[in-house]
């Protein structure tokens, strides 16, 4: 008996082909939709006016904020995703009173700049103007901040017009080295430091005694000797003490002009 051969019907072939075509079209449609959605998202992220920076908010000491506001400059219609935050931080940090600035994004249309001010440890006074000095020797000003309670730095090049010069920076550096050395002992809290030359630095303590230090060398030994003199004699008894040479230091009592060697 001859075997029968079965061939697929035309209807079955046509149904399979049509389904494959629809599946292919569906895939293409989905790919196009995803592409269109991706393009829209890229447009929104990069160029849409809906995400243009509308506001830059400054946070920090109001006196510092008022100094940096005019320094901020962003491109027109800067996008929140692509706004130059590093450049913005650098612009803010050009203000001498700013120690550090951090920029963050507050979606959808605001940048937030947090400003950290410098903390002064000394003051330079010129007339009615007070110039504050931070631990790095940076000089800055703050509205209504007079630096009361801070030691005053005095020197021939510390006038307001010359404060940014190399000579003024060298004087400030020398005086701050003395300030740091003396800050280790609360009894040596000072009112004024005067730079008269490389071997002529004078200190006036809050408690009254005046100390001639000579140069900024051997500071540790001079601090120990001064502290020992205050401990032994009392700040109310010392008018003047010369520590230029720790091996030959001498002092002068308040009530007379007789010099006495340190023992």
Q: What is the pLDDT along the chain (263 residues), one digit of tens a residue?
A: 455 555 555 555 556 677 677 777 777 777 766 655 655 555 555 556 677 888 899 999 999 999 999 999 888 878 888 888 999 999 999 999 999 999 999 988 899 999 999 999 999 998 888 999 999 999 999 999 999 999 999 999 998 778 889 999 999 999 999 999 999 999 999 999 999 988 899 999 999 999 999 998 999 999 999 999 999 999 999 999 999 999 999 999 987 545 556 55
Identify whether residues 233 and 142 lie together within a single domain: yes
Identify whether residues 127 and 250 lie together within a single domain: yes
Global confidence as pTM: 0.77
Instruction: Please state, in angstroms and as integers, the Cα–Cα distance from residue 77 to each residue in 47, 149, 181, 209, 245, following that order.
Output: 9, 47, 52, 62, 66
Identify whether residues 139 and 253 lie together within a single domain: yes
Identify whether residues 243 and 221 lie together within a single domain: yes
Nearest 5°: CA angle at 233, between 257 and 211? 60
Coil/strand/helix, residue 158: coil
Instruction: Answer with the one of 99, 117, 135 that is the final residue of a domain.
Output: 117
Identify whether residues 109 and 132 lie together within a single domain: no
Is residue 135 domain-resident?
A: yes
Instruction: Answer with the one of 117, 144, 163 that is the final residue of a domain.
Output: 117
CATH number, domain containing residue 223: 3.40.50.11690
Identify whether residues 81 and 60 lie together within a single domain: yes
In this prediction, residue 257 carries a pLDDT of: 45
In this prediction, residue 26 carries a pLDDT of: 73
How far is Cα 195 from Cα 218, in angstroms, rounded to an integer?
Answer: 17
Identify whether residues 104 and 161 lie together within a single domain: no
Identify whether residues 77 and 190 lie together within a single domain: no
Identify whether residues 245 and 207 lie together within a single domain: yes
How far is Cα 227 from Cα 210, in angstroms, rounded to an integer?
Answer: 13
Is residue 9 domain-resident?
A: no
In this prediction, residue 242 carries a pLDDT of: 97
Is residue 245 domain-resident?
A: yes
Rg for the chain, CA atoms, rounded = 37
60 Cβ contact list (under 8 Å, min separation 6): 114, 115, 116, 117
Using CB atoms within 10 Å of the CB of residue 251, give its burial: 0 to 12 exposed, 13 to 18 middle, 19+ buried: buried
Identify whether residues 105 and 58 lie together within a single domain: yes
* Residue numbers of the domain that contains 257: 122-261
């Amino acid at each position: 008996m001859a075997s029968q051969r079965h061939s697929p019907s035309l209807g079955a072939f046509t149904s399979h082909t049509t389904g494959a075509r629809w599946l292919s079209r569906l895939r293409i449609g989905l790919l196009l939709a995803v592409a269109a959605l991706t393009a829209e998202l890229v447009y929104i992220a990069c160029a849409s006016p809906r995400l243009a920076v509308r506001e830059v908010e400054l946070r920090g000491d109001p006196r510092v904020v008022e100094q940096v506001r005019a320094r901020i400059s962003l491109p027109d219609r800067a996008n929140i995703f692509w706004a130059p935050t590093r450049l913005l931080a650098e612009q803010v940090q050009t203000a001498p009173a700013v120690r550090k600035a951090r920029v963050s994004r507050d979606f959808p249309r605001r940048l937030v700049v947090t400003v950290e001010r410098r903390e002064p440890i000394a003051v330079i006074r010129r007339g009615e103007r007070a110039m504050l000095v931070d631990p790095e020797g940076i000089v800055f000003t703050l509205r209504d901040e007079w630096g009361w309670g801070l030691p005053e730095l005095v020197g021939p090049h510390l006038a307001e017009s010359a404060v940014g010069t190399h000579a003024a920076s060298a004087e400030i550096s020398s005086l701050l080295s003395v300030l740091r050395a003396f800050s280790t002992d609360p009894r040596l809290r000072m009112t004024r430091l005067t730079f008269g030359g490389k071997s002529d630095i004078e200190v006036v303590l809050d408690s009254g005694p005046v100390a001639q230090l000579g140069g900024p060398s051997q500071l540790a030994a001079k601090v120990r000797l001064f502290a020992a003199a205050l401990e032994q004699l009392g700040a109310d008894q010392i008018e003047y003490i010369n520590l230029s040479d720790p091996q030959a230091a001498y002092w002068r009592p308040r009530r007379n002009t007789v010099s006495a060697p340190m023992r």
